[in-house]
Structures are given as structure tokens and as C-alpha cells.
Structure 1
Amino acid sequence: MSTLADLLAEHTTLSDAAAAHLQRLVAEWQLLADLSFADFLMSVRTEDGDIVTVAQCRPNTASTVFPSDEVGRIADPTVNRQLERAFSADRVLRDEDPKWLGAVAIRREAVPVGFTADDGVIAVLTRAVDLTHPRLPSPLELAYQDSANDLCQMVADGSFPHVEGNPRGLSTPRAGDGFVRVDENGMVVYASPNALSAFHRMGWTTELTHTRLSEVAASLLTDPFESEDVAVMIDEAVGTTAPPAGPYRDVGMRMEADARRATALLRAVPLRPRGASTGAVVLIRDVTEVKRRDLALISKDATIREIHHRVKNNLQSVSALLRLQARRTTNPEARGALTEAVRRVASIALVHELLSGSVDEEVDLDEVVDRLVPILVDVASGDATVRVTHRDRLGVLTAELAMPLVMVLTELIQNAIEHGFTGQTGDSEIDVVADRDVRELRIAVRDNGSGLPEGFEVATSDRLGLQIVQTLVSIELGGALTMGPNPMGRGTEVNIVIPLR
């Protein structure tokens, strides 16, 4: 399915700034749909003069009036004249009579999307409201719709959505989580039942109506800096306080704050239709239980990483002891076996070291190979110089795949270093080449050495390293292993295919 950016590029020649404004609008218009109890469609004019729908939003607070996907549909201007007129308007058009769509009576309103004076109207939002069963609206519905009307006018003015920073990546509370409407003086004129419950959970024991919300919120928070920040955020959204001159904390328009009994996520939305402040909407969500689960997960994650760190330390100690024993051993076979053990333990320790710094139990294989190669070359026997390079990107794998794969690469590279260049003079090179897609990871380990012995079969080889490789690839990784001549020239090539899905 095409994204909004794809559709804008296909049908329009909007500037990057105008397209970014529409992207921000689509990121925020769920609030508009929920407050309006209405579906929203975004339409743009194509280079050919047609009007095409490029985005669609359904409300969480009411049933949709467009059960089918409207994206990509070209509007008929003879049927929807209001949409055509909105491209040259600077206000919300609400003069269309309800029309029947099947068994549903729909009233459409056209909201021109303003941006700059030079760009004019860059898109039009269609707000479609179900009028099939008219009834007297509740106070909550009146407060919602009043705020939605202000926000729609701000869309026409080009002042919504606001460009605001969110460095902490906080999510946005929905209107149904908790809704508070404050007037131009910062006084609460309406608070939804869910908002009242959230403030009661934070420690407020009386009604919110006719109180100054910034003072109420500030009085409930335990941290004095958060208390000051939340008061500044709400007052700036209302317009009763301008940002202070000089350096100050840019608190943005959303915060996560800790009260005595609960943690709440707050978001302030200024209401300034036609440039005049009519107050603000403050959305609040009680995230106490979510925060507790997050803290538990953080604690568990820290414990797992500490375990990886200790395992790495223990393996490095074992590796050091084996290396010391190898130096004291006079038997060449025993020294070789101990040296191989040092290398295997070191490769496992390296994976645990990377896991100790990972927050998602994943390992960057390229970093492992870059750090592993010097260790392998250092413990290689003989005086010959071997150059090991790896091309392309191996990528990131989960720990359960990364651990055996690192062991496989360790054995293959070490085997090539020790046995691939027997009796050879000149440059000795080993290449690790990767090819990865969404289904498989294919790795080739190539050398320019003397090649495989006559009649060699990997399945019948009695070398411990190759036996380890076959076992890990077939059982642990569920992949396939082949060995043969290097197609790029002399030497040997080992191919590994590992399924990723």
C-alpha cells in the first residue's frame, strides 16, 4: 500500500515543507476525528486538475461512515461541489445539506488546509458526520465538538498541527483517555470522567471545574522542576504566559509527570482559531501501571545484561588460564589443542561482551567479525602473514542465532588460516562475503590457498573444527553447508545458508 509521501509525490508537485506539513497533520488528525465523532478524508489536487483522496482517518469515538478504503479515489466535482470550492477558501465550509450514503445520512464539511500565503490551500479535509440518529448531545460531546471546530479552523489558518519537539519520544494521550477543556484564562470549563479519575488518582480530591488547571497540576507533582514545567506548559498553551526571555527549559507540549500516587502523561493543545486564543485542550492518561511494567522490564533487562557481563569475565578468565597452560606445555599436540580452546572460548566471550551492552538481545555480526579477526590471526600458527577481510554487511541477529554463527565463522576462518595455505608462498588472503535478504543470510568464506585435498568430503572429515561447524549449521542454525573450489580463482570456498524466518 502506498504511503502518504508516495501518493503526494505521484499526484502533486508540493514543496518538501508543504508535504511535511501534511505528514504532521496526518500524524495528529486522530485527535480531530475523535473530537468530531467523524471520519476525515484528505484530498489534494493533482497536476491534471483532478481531486484525489490521499489519506483517511476513522474515529475511535463513533462508528465510521466510510467502511471501505477511500484512499486513491478521485472525487467527482459535479457531485461534491463543496470540496471544489474549499480549494479557494480560507474557512471551514459547513453549508452542505446531509446526503444519504446507503442507510446513513452524512453531513460533509470541507476544511481547507492552509500553509503559507505563497502556497495557499495545499489540501482539503472532508469531515463526514453521521446524522442518521439525531439526539441531544451530552456535555462531553459539546465540549469535544467545540474544541474540534476550533482545531479545524486552525487547520484552515495553517496553525495546526504545531511544530513541537518531542525528544523523549512520548506518546500522545487520546481524547477518550482524559479530556480537559480550559478557557482563555486557564480555568477548567469541562473535564471528562476519565480525566477526573486520572486527577483523583494523582491526589486531587475535589471537582476540577472552575479551578486553574496549571495550579492544580503543579500542586500534585512531587518533583519541583516537573511542577514548574507542567505549569509553564499549560499556561503557554492557554496563552496566559509567554515563554520567558533568555535561557529556559523548553518543556514542549507533552510531559510525563510523577504525582504522589500515580504517573500521568499530559499533552496540551493550544486553541487559537484565526489567531485569537480560546483556551486549550489538555489530554491526560494514567500510565501508572504501564510505568511499573516498564520499570520491571528495565530491571530485568539490566539483570540479563549483568549476567552476560559476568559470563564474559569468567570466560576471559578461563581463556587466560588455558593460554597460560598452553605456554607451559611442551607437547605440540597438547599445545595446539589448548590454543584452539583459547580461540573458541574467546569467540564466545566476545558475543557475551556485546550482549552485555545490548538492550534487545541482538548482536551486530559485523562488529563481532571485525573484533574477532585480530584474535584469530594472533593465535595462528606459523610465520606466514594472512590478511582477512569481510565485505558487505552481515547485519544484526538475535542472540540464539548469533552465538552459533560466530562459532562457525571462528572455526572456518581459523581452519583456513591453519590448513589452507600449506606450502604456499606469496600473499595469503581470506574473504568473508555476505549476501542477506529478508529470508536468508548467505555467507561465503573464500581463501586463495592450496585448495582441498584430493577426494575430500566435508561430511566424512574427521577434523574436530569441521565437525563442530557441521553440527552448529545443521542443528543450531537449521542451515546448509557446502565446501568446494573457489570460483574466483585458486583456493577453497565454504558456503553457509542460514534461514532468518
Structure 2
Amino acid sequence: MSTLADLLAEHTTLSDAAAGHLQRLVAEWQLLADLSFADLLLSVRTENGAVITVAQCRPNTASTVYARDEVGAVADDTMRPQLERALTAGTVLRDEDPQWVGTLAIRREAVPVGFEEGTDAIAVLSRAVDLTHPRLPSPLELAYQDSANDLCQMVADGTFPQQEGNPRGLSTPRAGDGFVRVDENATVVYASPNALSAFHRMGWNAELNNTRLSEVTASLLTDPFVSEDVAMMIDAAAGVATVPAGPYRDVGMRMEADARRATVLIRAVPLRPRGVSTGAVVLIRDVTEVKRRDLALISKDATIREIHHRVKNNLQSVSALLRLQARRTTNPEARGALTEAVRRVASIALVHELLSGSVDEEVDLDEVVDRLVPILVDVASGDTPVTVRHRDRLGVLSAELAMPLVMVLTELIQNAIEHGFAGTQSDSEIEIVADRDVRQVRITVRDNGSGLPDGFDPAASDRLGLQIVQTLVSIELGGTLTMGPNPSGRGTEVSVVFPWR
């Protein structure tokens, strides 16, 4: 499906600023749909004069009136005249009587989307409400609809949505989480049952109606600085004259705050239809349990990283002890075995070191290889200079795959350095090639050495390193291992293919 940006680029010549305003409107209009109990359609006039729908929103507070996706649909003869008039006149137009569409009685309202003062509307927002079963609205519904009407007028004025900073990336409370309507003095005129419950959990045991919401909220918060900021945010949204000019005036904001018994997310949305303040909508959501789970996850992640750090330290200690033992051993075969053990333990310790600084249990294989290769070359090459080239990007893998893969690469590189080159060869080179798609990873280690012995069978080999590689590839990685001559005509090529998803 085409995105809003794609449809605007295809059908209009709107400026970047105007398109950005429509993007912000679509990002915020779920609140308007919920308060209106209505489906919303955003339509624009195309270059050939047609009116096409470019975005759609369904309410969480009522059943939808549009069963199918309307994005990309051209307005028909029943809807187009109203949309055209709203675009031309720049005023909100509402059907006097509902229209029957099948078994539904739908009343539509066309709201021009203003942008810059003195310019024509850049789009039109239509609200469609199901009036099939009319009934007396509840106080909550009246408060919702009154606020929605103010917001729709602000859409026509070009003042909703506002440029709102959200540096902490906080989510937006929904109308159903907790809704409070305050007047231009920041006095509560209506609070939904969910909002009352949230304030009761914060420690407020009285009614909210006719109270100054900024003062009530400030009295419940534990941090005095946050308390002052939240109070100023609510007062600024309501248009209280005593609030000094600054970052809070005319800016709908959201904040997370701790009360004595709960953690809440609060957002204040100014209501200023035609530039006149009528108060504000304050949305509140109890996020105590969410915050508790977040803290538990943070604590768990920190514990896991600490475990990786301690495992790395322990492995380094084991490596140092093995290295010390190798130096004190006079038997060349035993010294070689201990040196190989040092190398294997060091490669595992390197992975744990990277995991100790990771927050998602993933390892950057390129960083591992770049740090591991110099160690292997320095330990194993001796008097024979060997160049290891790391081509292509290996990418990031989960710890379950990264650990055995690093061991496999360690053994393959080490084996190529120790057994692939003659002592007098001067152009010894090992190349690591990676090929990764959405399903599998192929990693190939090539050298330009003497090649495999005649009749060599990897499955029948008794070399410990090769047995380790075969076991890790087949069991831990669930992949396949192939060995053969280098396609360039000189040396050996070993390929490991395994699924990563």
C-alpha cells in the first residue's frame, strides 16, 4: 500500500511544509477520531481536479462505518460536492440530515485543513458518524464531542496539530485511558471515570470537578521540579494568563511523573478554536505496571551484561593460566595443545566481552573478526608473514549463532595459517568473504596456499580443529560445511552456510 507521502507526491504539488503538516495531522488524529466517535478520511484535490482519499482512521470508541479501506479511492458524486465546498469556502460543513448507506444512517462533516493564514485549504478532513440508532448522549460523550468540535475548528484554522517536541519519545495516552476537560482557568469541568481512577491511585480521594487541575496534580507528584513543570504545562495549555511566555505556551506537551502511589503519563492538548482559548483536554494514563516491567527488564538486562562481563574475566583468567602452563611445558606437543586451548578460550572470551556491552544479546561479527584476526596471525604465523583480508560485511547476529560461528572462524583461520602455507611462501594471503540474504549466511575462507592433500576427506579427518568445526556447524548452527580447491586455482576454499532466521 502507498504511504501518505507517496500519495501526496503522486497526486499533488504541495510544498514540503504543507505535506509535513498533513503528516503531523495523521500522526495525531486518532485522538480526534476517538473524541468524535467517527471515522476520519483525509482527502486532497488532485492536479486533474478529482478529490482522492490519502489517509483513513477508525475510532476506538465506536464501530466503524467504513468496512473497506478507502485509501486511494476517488470521492463519488455523493461526497464530492461537500468536500469541494469545504475546500473552496474554508469553513466546516455538516450534513443537515444523515444519508442512508445500505443499512447505516451516516452523517458526514467536511473540515478544511488550514495551513498558513491567507492561503487556501491544503486538504479536507471528513468525519463520518453512525446515527442508525439515535439515543441521548452521556456526559462523557458530550464532553468528548464538545472537545472534538473545538479540535476540528483548529484543524480548519491550521492550529492543530501543533509543533510539539517529544525528546523523550513518550507515547500518547488515549482518550479512553483517562480524559479531563478543563476550562480557560484550568478548572475541571468534566473528568471521565478512568481519569478519576488514575487520580485516586495517585492519592487524590475527592472529586475533581470544579478543582484547579494544575494545583491538584502538582500536590500529588513527589518530585517538586516535575510538579512545577506539569502544573505549568496544564496552565499553559488551558491559556491561563499568569503563565509566563516560554516553552510551555501554545505547545501541547506530555510528561511522565511519579506520584506517591503511581506513575502516570500526562498530556495536555490546548483548545483554541478561532484563536480563542476554551480550555484544554488533559489525557492521563496510569503506567505504573508498565514502568515496573520496564524497570524489571532494565535490571534483567544489566544482570545479563554483568554475567557476560564476569564470564569474560573468568575465561581470561583461564587463558592466562593455560598460557603460563604452556610456557613451563617442555613437551612440544603438549605446548602446542595448550596454545590451541588458549586461542579457543580467548575467542570465546572476546564474544562475551562484546555481549557485556550489548543491550540486545547481539554481536557485531565484523568487530569480532577485526579484533580476533591480529591475535591469530601474531600467535600462529611465526616467521611466515600472512595477510588476512576481511571482505564484505558479516553483520550482526544473535549470541546463540555468534558464539559457535566465531569458534568456527577461529579454527578455519588458524588451520589455514598453520597448515596451508609452505615455509618459504612470501605472498601468503587469507580472504574472508561473506554473502548474506534474508534467510541464510554464507561465509567463505579462502587461502592461496598449498591446497588440500590428495584424497583428503574432511569427514574422516582426525584433526581436532576440523572435528570441532564440523560439530559446531552441523549442531550449533544447523548448517553445512564444504571444503575444496580455491576457484582461483591455488589454495583451499572452505564455505559455511547456515540459516540465521
Identify which range, 219-228 or 325-334, moves more after superposition.
325-334
Q: Against the structure 1 CA distance between its residues 48 and 467, is the aligned structure 2 distance closer, same or farther, given a 3 Å change threshold?
A: farther
Q: Against the structure 1 CA distance between its residues 81 and 246, is the aligned structure 2 distance closer, same or farther, given a 3 Å change threshold?
A: closer
- 1:393 CA displacement: 2.0
Identify which range, 108-117 or 172-181, moves more after superposition.
108-117
CA contact (8 A) 1:362 1:396 kept: yes
Task: Provide the residue aligned with 1:12 in structure 2.
Answer: 12
- 1:405 CA displacement: 1.1
* C-alpha distance in structure 2 between counterparts of 1:32 and 1:399, whole Å: 44
Task: Provide the residue aligned with 2:163 in structure 1.
Answer: 163
Q: Against the structure 1 CA distance between its residues 245 and 479, is the aligned structure 2 distance closer, same or farther, given a 3 Å change threshold?
A: same
Q: Against the structure 1 CA distance between its residues 495 and 251, is the aligned structure 2 distance closer, same or farther, given a 3 Å change threshold?
A: farther
Task: Provide the residue aligned with 1:32 in structure 2.
Answer: 32
Q: Give the residue type in structure 2 aligned to 1:154.
A: M
CA contact (8 A) 2:237 2:251 kept: no
- 1:106 CA displacement: 0.6
Q: Against the structure 1 CA distance between its residues 77 and 493, is the aligned structure 2 distance closer, same or farther, given a 3 Å change threshold?
A: farther
Task: Provide the residue aligned with 1:190 in structure 2.
Answer: 190
Task: Provide the residue aligned with 1:285 in structure 2.
Answer: 285
Task: Provide the residue aligned with 2:22 in structure 1.
Answer: 22
- 1:488 CA displacement: 4.1
CA contact (8 A) 2:162 2:251 kept: no
Task: Provide the residue aligned with 2:337 in structure 1.
Answer: 337
CA contact (8 A) 2:235 2:243 kept: no
Secondary structure at the residue paired with 2:161? coil
Secondary structure at the residue paired with 2:363? strand
Q: Give the residue type in structure 2 aligned to 1:94.
A: R
* C-alpha distance in structure 2 between counterparts of 1:249 and 1:91, whole Å: 27
Task: Provide the residue aligned with 1:361 in structure 2.
Answer: 361
* C-alpha distance in structure 1 between counterparts of 2:468 and 2:82, whole Å: 73
* In the alignment, structure 1 residue 46 sits paired with structure 2 residue 46: yes
* C-alpha distance in structure 2 between counterparts of 1:376 and 1:497, whole Å: 23
Task: Provide the residue aligned with 2:133 in structure 1.
Answer: 133
Identity %, equivalent residues:
85
CA contact (8 A) 2:236 2:248 kept: no
Task: Provide the residue aligned with 2:200 in structure 1.
Answer: 200
Q: Against the structure 1 CA distance between its residues 58 and 244, is the aligned structure 2 distance closer, same or farther, given a 3 Å change threshold?
A: same
Q: What is the count of residue pairs matched by the alignment?
A: 501
- 1:407 CA displacement: 1.0
Q: Against the structure 1 CA distance between its residues 118 and 436, is the aligned structure 2 distance closer, same or farther, given a 3 Å change threshold?
A: farther
- 1:7 CA displacement: 2.4
* In the alignment, structure 1 residue 466 sits paired with structure 2 residue 481: no
- 1:245 CA displacement: 6.3
Task: Provide the residue aligned with 2:89 in structure 1.
Answer: 89
Identify which range, 187-196 or 268-277, moves more after superposition.
268-277
* In the alignment, structure 1 residue 216 sits paired with structure 2 residue 189: no
Q: Give the residue type in structure 2 aligned to 1:172.
A: T
Secondary structure at the residue paired with 1:88? helix
Task: Provide the residue aligned with 2:238 in structure 1.
Answer: 238
Deviations 1:190-215 (A, max 9, x none): 10000001001101111111111111
Q: Gaps spanning 5+ residues in structure 1: where?
A: none
Q: Against the structure 1 CA distance between its residues 250 and 37, is the aligned structure 2 distance closer, same or farther, given a 3 Å change threshold?
A: closer
- 1:308 CA displacement: 0.8
User: What's the Cα RMSD here?
Assistant: 2.1
Task: Provide the residue aligned with 1:305 in structure 2.
Answer: 305
* C-alpha distance in structure 1 between counterparts of 2:486 and 2:120, whole Å: 64
Identify which range, 217-226 or 416-425, moves more after superposition.
416-425
- 1:261 CA displacement: 0.8
Task: Provide the residue aligned with 1:478 in structure 2.
Answer: 478
Within a 5 Å distance, the mapping from 1:420-431 to structure 2 comes to: 420-423=420-423, 425-431=425-431
Deviations 1:198-233 (A, max 9, x none): 001101111111111111110000111111111111
* C-alpha distance in structure 2 between counterparts of 1:47 and 1:133, whole Å: 40
Task: Provide the residue aligned with 1:255 in structure 2.
Answer: 255
Deviations 1:351-393 (A, max 9, x none): 1111111112111112211221122122114212222222222
* C-alpha distance in structure 2 between counterparts of 1:332 and 1:120, whole Å: 88
CA contact (8 A) 1:446 1:494 kept: yes
* C-alpha distance in structure 1 between counterparts of 2:278 and 2:3, whole Å: 35
CA contact (8 A) 2:412 2:445 kept: yes
Task: Provide the residue aligned with 2:438 in structure 1.
Answer: 438
- 1:494 CA displacement: 1.6
TM-score normalised to the size of structure 1?
0.95
- 1:2 CA displacement: 2.5
- 1:171 CA displacement: 0.8
Deviations 1:226-261 (A, max 9, x none): 111111111121121577568999997111100011
Q: Against the structure 1 CA distance between its residues 245 and 176, is the aligned structure 2 distance closer, same or farther, given a 3 Å change threshold?
A: closer
Identify which range, 196-205 or 11-20, moves more after superposition.
11-20
* In the alignment, structure 1 residue 104 sits paired with structure 2 residue 87: no
CA contact (8 A) 1:256 1:265 kept: yes
Structure 1 residue runs of 4 or more that deviate by more than 4 Å after TM superposition: 241-252
* C-alpha distance in structure 2 between counterparts of 1:162 and 1:189, whole Å: 24
* In the alignment, structure 1 residue 396 sits paired with structure 2 residue 396: yes
Deviations 1:126-161 (A, max 9, x none): 111001011111110011011111111111222111
CA contact (8 A) 1:322 1:341 kept: yes
Q: Against the structure 1 CA distance between its residues 13 and 410, is the aligned structure 2 distance closer, same or farther, given a 3 Å change threshold?
A: farther
CA contact (8 A) 1:94 1:109 kept: yes
- 1:333 CA displacement: 1.6
